[in-house]
Amino acid sequence: MDDWTVTAFEGVAIPDDKMIWSDANQAPETEWDILEREIPPRLDWATRAAWARTCYRLSVSWKKFISELPIFPVLTDAELETFPNLTSLVLAPHHITTSWGVMALPKLTSLIMHGYRRVADMGVASLALLETLDISGRTQISDAALAGLRKLTTLNLAGNYNISDTGIEHLTALTALNIYGRCNRITDKGLKPLTRLVRLDAVENVNVSDASVGGLQLLEWISYTAGKKITPACLAQLPNLRANCIEAVAPSDTPF
């Protein structure tokens, strides 16, 4: 039998007796069949058994499951625990992973969870190797989660009202920061220490001004709201910032 048809890919678990297979003439396989035929024998038995159980529950081949794991929508915390070497994870509002599942992935370097509310501070705070973090939108994440993320280089806070200067001012490895959408708890005080920034999106932020932006000597791209506290005269003094990398957005063009 070739690759199976994915029947639970949009997050709806299908009961065992309702699974659909690519070969209509073949009876549904058991977890044992999957384990024996598809999953590499070099792995320990407990891991192979867990993966076989997950593939059977989702009605998806092991090869497809592994290739699409970072975006797979229906993994439980217990299932994520069988992937301790995972380095990238994308979570969306319909996913079911919680802080406990994320804490089982100590090697994550990239976590994308726009608007995701099932992971709290303790989940993110445990990921000391994170380099890319997207907590844009309405999440549960606060300043406390960012305290130990010293390797973070890319941070997206667009539309997140929870994070303040206290959360970002120690993230001195940051090279890209998005505070689009009135992230007004971020001010000059939080931005000044981030001297490695090369990219900044500050549209609709009313508390970031020339006082901090003028010190970002490595900045190569910026977007901001025209007529606020960031001025063209300040940007003209930044040596790496070219005119075609400056986006001045009129206040009426913003969706907030």
Structural domains in the chain, sorted by start: 19-67 (no CATH), 74-253 (3.80.10.10)
Q: Which residue has the higher pLDDT, 225 or 3?
A: 225
What's residue 24's pLDDT? Answer: 37
CB atoms within 10 A of CB 207: 20
What's residue 77's pLDDT? Answer: 86
What's residue 47's pLDDT? Answer: 62
pLDDT bracket for residue 94 (50, 70, 90) = low
CB of 188 closer than 8 Å to CB of 202: no
Instruction: Report the mean per-residue pLDDT for the chain.
Output: 79
What sign for the dihedral angle of Cα 150, 180, 210, 221?
positive
CA angle 98, 101, 102 (to 5 degrees): 90
Query: Which tens digits make up the pLDDT trace of 137-156?
Result: 888 999 999 999 999 999 99
Residue 223 clears pLDDT 50, i.e. is over it: yes
Query: Which tens digits make up the pLDDT trace of 187-204?
Result: 999 999 999 999 999 998
pLDDT bracket for residue 79 (50, 70, 90) = confident
pLDDT bracket for residue 26 (50, 70, 90) = very low
